[in-house]
Structure formats: C-alpha cells, structure tokens
Structure 1
C-alpha cells in the first residue's frame, strides 16, 4: 500500500471512493434516495477544484493506492474551519472503500495527516464525525480521540448530530 499526495489525475478515483464509501458508511443513516443520487461526476469536479486549489487553500489530500486496484482510500486535512481558539488543524475526511476497511489503511492515512498538520504547526487537530457513524467514532477514540464538542447538520431535512 502506498500513501501519497493526490494529483489532479486522481480526481475521478477519489470521487469513486468517496461516493462508494458514503453509500456503505451512511446506509441506514442517510436515505437510500440521497445516497443513490450521489454522482461520481459531481464529486470528480469538486475534487478537481480542491486539488487544483490545494496549495492556495492550504489543504492536503492523500491517497491510499494499492498496486492491483488503484486508489482505495483518501484523506483531506488543513486549517480548522471555524476559527477555533484551541484547535488549529482539522482532519476533513478519511474514506476507504468497504473491501479495504479494517486493514490499517485508515491509520496510515491518519498518520500522514497528523505529520502534515504538525509540520504546518496546525496542532492540535479537530475531527468531526456523525455520531451515528459508530465505526468512525470508535476508530478515533481507540487512537486517543476525546469527544469535546457537538453540533447539528441538516441533510435533506434530516437533522444529524456531529461530534468532535
């Protein structure tokens, strides 16, 4: 498994991982219709924009690439987005396709994120996770994460609790 910085040519593969991971991770949390309407093409365009502007925006994108199947996971991170007084960095995303979960890839991606944010003096870092995403909450808690905040978000008129 190789962890490396994303390139613009990775945008579709990252989008595919994102959509596929959302469909498995949030099944039962978000509606079938919402998940079914996620678009590889829309996510690809969003990823192209993020990657193209990553240097200017201070965002880092890492991919987990397997020799046989290509990109199977990714992470994004950068400056904490709400101007928190204590937390300066933020892990925005870690997504891994279902077949590659629980194989240590998330930990590898998290290590790269922590190293990058530390090198940019963006520590400590904050991570927001849907509270109903128990596997993700457990992943971060096992690695020393503590619940310190909560907020609510609205996805298609469904109010969901996020924990930091």
Structure 2
C-alpha cells in the first residue's frame, strides 16, 4: 500500500503556485480519506439517511475534474464518465454506485482526469478563459471553484470515513 503524500501549500508563493498547491492539497486529502479501505468499506453509505459513499465521492470528483478542465476550460466534447441518465444528480453526478463499481476503478479514473487537467493548464495563464453558461470563465476562477468543491466534499469524506472505521483528522 502506498502512502499518499500531502505537502502543506507554500505559505508565501505567487498566485498560481498558491492556487495549484491548494488544489493538490485537497486532491491528496480525498485520496488520504480512501487510503486503506477495501471496496466494500468504500461503498458503505455510512451517514444515514444520505447514500453518500467514498467511492461515490471519488467518482463525482472525477466527473467534476473532467467537466471544468476538459469541457469548460479546454472546450473538449468529453462525454460523461458515468451515465447521466441513470444518475439523479445529472451530468455532474457519479455519486450513485452502479453494480460492480470499485474504489480502485474510481481512483484510477479520477487520477486520469487529474492528469488531463494538469496537461490542459500547464501552458495556460490564470487569465485564460473557457466558456461556462455562455460566458468567459478564467482558469483562476476554475481553480478557486475546484478548491472549494474539494474542501466541501472532503468534509463529507471525513464524516463518512469516521463512521466506517473511526479514522479522523487529516
């Protein structure tokens, strides 16, 4: 088992480094919340009445990464990873687990989407834009949105993980 590395974002850096470091910090936090769990544990909806699971959160964040960095920022016509027709959460879903869904597969898809996001952003400026709701949206705005999206869902992941095996913090 590999241990997830999660370095503290630099305390005094330029804007881009700060934004990318905080996004990576939150990505690592979600990975840490899943560390050491098997597929059965990661599929437990452990905060009733919510059906939220760690596998579902990872699947959702893979879809969110794809949406903001590939569809919105890069303008790709990337299809939904998970069936939006079958998911009551719609095209940004992924929360609901289909039969045979595994944490390992979800993590693999998520890591692939993170790598694609990094590729799309590497040579672009924070002021560069994509299109969202028929308006320009900057990479800067997308980074801030992704940080808050991960922060919110990492709070959920913390509660779910604590209910699974008592692990807290991180």
TM-score, normalising length from structure 1?
0.29
TM-score, normalising length from structure 2?
0.28
Higher strand share: 1
Mark the structure with the bigger radius of gyration. 2
Q: More relative contact order in 1 or in 2 (CA 8 Å, sep 6+)? A: 2
